[in-house]
């Protein structure tokens, strides 16, 4: 059993700390938010993640997991300190490292024995060296310490599984012995462990997220070409994915990427490149395509309504940026709803988990209790987040309650032929003949 401190009880910190506790370690999660720590002590989770509440409860009961706002308490007798604080984007695209600095300074102020300090937050290349400099400057007489980079690769909605069954564990440090000690913590996970230098480990994280975002933007770009040429992007994706060099993952055309990671990480990587005099054209294209893709369902709704959104009622199914989370950070639904409102439409919506966060982000949208209420009186229904419950809706009941049977499938979860047979006018993303309907495709014979 090791003593571990995790600074930051947000998404990455709480999941990581709880999982380390479940592996048999004694873990203290620290956060500067007194409200968050009080809620955690009362069993109230700050995030929605399937299985997390039960795992926290079990490890607290076993005495392996505790919560505090005190650095003195958190660092007492600890062996490893993980920094897992937020690194939001600044206006210019750079990562905002104020919370990392605060954590490093606070560690320096109270540390009284040797420590291994691990950057778990997604931080710009060079941050590991910077953290060491902060501690040395703040506390020239500080006890011996080492800095290790251990980037996280957790997906919201499947974070517990991702932690316990990782594809790989990446560690970076200028001190091999320190990295090997952190590797020992991860041995129970039985995963490939890669040890490299600090800056390379930091770059692996950014490069991984940028590549995944690029795959999504690529298939969305292809979806637009498919629509123009009459091809079906779902079949195109399937055919591409059978090539082992390409693979099927992240090739689902839709409304683009959002959340807390891809937007800020792609932007931060582009910023880092530009500050070094490089020209990240591809990264900018990836971001531009993603931004444009968010308006695709608005354009399709306008098409179905013959260009008129003013005074129409639009229902949105799903608001979170992806299923199995309540995260509204940079969610496509925000841009879509705001654009619809700007055009004079009335917008009503429902999400299985994100309603509280959505009310704060979209106060002008009418939030309802379920998908059937959203459909009632709607002129167009737009599927935004592919929650499982939306795949099993009674579409006959949906159609009968709508003002007009118009459906925009922003995630291509429905079968176009079956939906049309029920009497809907259907528009998917990049579905070609399937998405637009053979009757809508015009052949130019001139």
Residues with active-site annotation: 261
Give the strand order in the sheet containing 313-317.
366-367, 346-350, 313-317, 380-383, 406-409, 425-427
Cα–Cα dist 438/287, whole Å: 32
Contact between residue 322 and residue 263 where contact means Cβ atoms under 8 Å apart: no
Cα–Cα dist 31/307, whole Å: 50
Cα–Cα dist 260/264, whole Å: 7
Q: Is 188 helix (H, G, I), strand (E, B) or coil?
A: helix
CB burial string 410-434: b at 16+ within 10 A, e below: bbbbbebeebbeeebbbbbbbbbbb
Query: Based on the number of CB atoms within 10 Å of its own CB, is 26 exposed (0-12), middle (13-18) or buried (19 or more)?
Result: buried
For 26, which DSSP code?
E
CB atoms within 10 A of CB 373: 17
CB-side neighbour CA atoms (13 Å) of 13:
30
CB atoms within 10 A of CB 440: 11
Cα–Cα dist 66/73, whole Å: 11
Alpha helices in 343-387 (DSSP H): 355-361, 371-375
Cα–Cα dist 193/187, whole Å: 9
Tell me the residue ranges of DSSP E strands in 173-271. 192-196
Cα–Cα dist 374/317, whole Å: 8
Give the strand order in the sheet containing 65-68.
65-68, 26-30, 3-7, 80-83, 115-119, 145-149, 168-172, 192-196
Of the candidates 227, 385, 214, 383, the residue with the CA atom closest to the CA atom of residue 288 = 214
Taking the C-alpha atoms of 127, 128, 130 and 135 in order, what is their torsion angle to the nearest 10 degrees? 140
Q: Is 133 helix (H, G, I), strand (E, B) or coil?
A: helix
Tell me the residue ranges of DSSP E strands in 49-105. 65-68, 80-83
The gap between the terminal CA atoms of the chain, to the nearest Å, is 77
């Amino acid at each position: 059993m090791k003593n571990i401190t995790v600074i930051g009880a947000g998404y990455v910190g709480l999941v990581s700390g709880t999982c380390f506790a479940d592996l048999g370690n004694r873990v203290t999660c620290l956060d500067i938010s007194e409200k968050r720590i009080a809620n955690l002590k009362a069993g109230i989770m700050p995030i929605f993640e399937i299985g997390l509440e039960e795992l926290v409860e079990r490890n607290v009961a076993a005495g392996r997991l505790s919560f505090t706002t005190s650095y003195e308490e958190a660092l007492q007798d600890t062996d490893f300190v993980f920094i897992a604080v937020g690194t939001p984007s600044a206006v210019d695209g750079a990562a905002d490292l104020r919370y990392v600095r605060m954590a490093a300074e606070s560690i320096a102020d109270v540390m009284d024995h040797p420590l291994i300090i691990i950057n778990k937050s997604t931080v710009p290349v060079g941050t590991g060296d910077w953290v060491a400099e902060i501690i040395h400057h703040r506390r020239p007489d500080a006890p011996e310490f080492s800095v290790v980079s251990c980037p996280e690769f957790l997906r919201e909605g499947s974070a517990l599984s991702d932690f316990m069954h990782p594809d790989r564990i990446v560690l970076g440090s200028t001190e091999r012995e320190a990295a090997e000690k952190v590797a020992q913590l991860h041995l129970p996970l039985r995963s490939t462990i890669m040890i490299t230098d600090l800056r390379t480990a930091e770059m692996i994280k950014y490069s991984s997220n940028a590549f995944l975002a690029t795959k999504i933007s690529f298939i969305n770009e292809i979806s637009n070409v498919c629509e123009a040429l009459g091809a079906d992007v779902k079949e195109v994706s399937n055919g591409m994915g059978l090539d082992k060099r390409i693979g099927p993952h992240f090739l689902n055309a839709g409304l683009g990427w959002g959340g807390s990671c891809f937007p800020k990480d792609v932007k931060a990587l582009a910023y880092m490149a530009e500050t070094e005099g490089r020209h990240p054209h591809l990264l900018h294209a990836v971001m531009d395509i993603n931004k444009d893709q968010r308006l695709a369902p608005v354009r399709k709704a306008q098409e179905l309504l013959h260009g008129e959104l003013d005074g129409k009622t639009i229902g949105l199914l799903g608001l979170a940026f992806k299923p199995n989370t309540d995260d509204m950070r940079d969610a496509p639904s925000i841009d879509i709803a705001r654009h619809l409102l700007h055009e004079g439409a009335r917008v009503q919506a429902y999400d299985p988990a994100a309603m509280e966060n959505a009310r704060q982000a979209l106060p002008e949208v009418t939030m309802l209790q379920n998908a059937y209420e959203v459909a009632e009186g709607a002129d167009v229904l737009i599927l935004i987040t592919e929650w499982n419950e939306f795949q099993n809706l009674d579409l006959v009941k949906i159609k009968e309650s709508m003002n007009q049977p118009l459906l925009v499938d922003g995630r291509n979860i429905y079968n176009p032929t079956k939906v049309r047979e029920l009497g809907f006018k259907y528009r998917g993303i990049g579905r070609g003949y399937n998405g637009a309907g053979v009757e809508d495709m015009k052949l130019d014979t001139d």
